[in-house]
Amino acid sequence: MNKIVLITGATSGIGLACARKFAKNGDRLILTGRNEKRLSEIQKELTDEGAEMLTLVFDVRNREEIKRQLSELPKEWQDIDVLVNNAGLALGLDPEQDGNMDDWDTMIDTNIKGLLTMTRLVVPGMVKRNRGHIINVGSIAGDAAYAGGNVYCATKAAVKSITDGLRIDVAHTAIRVTNLKPGLVETNFSNIRFHGDTERAAKVYEGVKPLTGDDIADVAVYAANAPEHVQIAEVTILATHQASVSVIKRK
């Protein structure tokens, strides 16, 4: 059965890859992001390929705007089957004692509070219908801190705890909850982290073949389409030459 899949942060990277993969799977899409122009371009691309979709323009930090837009969904789009909490970012790589506090607020408000807002607003409907799937895009950074990662790592550790807690809270239902934990993925992630310093961002991936957004999206689609009695609770996805958050063998 085709599902209604809501993906946050769908204008680039893992979110966009998930949109394309779920569309190819025949699912109906609700894509969200801050960039209205980019969302329109993606909508044209995917609808030209036969996908059925809606776009919602909002920042996951804006709780009231999310409430408004979700409450105004057409009736035929309200029964969301899969929520992909993908919107997130890292900013800066400074020692904690030198960190930018505004960057901290942005990471915490996006990676944690934005994910919680989407979960709080979408999951009650899943509980009522006794079906649904929440896929949170976490990170191996949530398992172990690395130099300069401090607050970003803390937000992804929170994603793990929030995901595990939700799985417990809905265990009496048929809802499934998944935490995807990618390692090194080449998207615009590092470019954003370094505030547009493309040269510095490129060095993150030197000497190793990193994962792509498609690699993570493949796992998301697999988890969402596993048999109903199978819950893919947590998946760590690493590049072949990455052994842990800090051990990467480069050529």
The set of catalytic residues is: 152
Closest CA to 111 of 81, 82, 153, 144: 153
User: Taking CA 222 as the corner, what is the angle to CA 217 and CA 227, rounded to the nearest 5 degrees?
Assistant: 155
Starting at the earlier edge strand, list the strands of the sheet with 176-182: 53-57, 28-33, 4-7, 82-85, 133-137, 176-182, 234-237
Helix, coil or strand: residue 147: coil
* Bridge partners of residue 178, in order along the sequence: 135
Token pair, residue 182, equals 């990618």
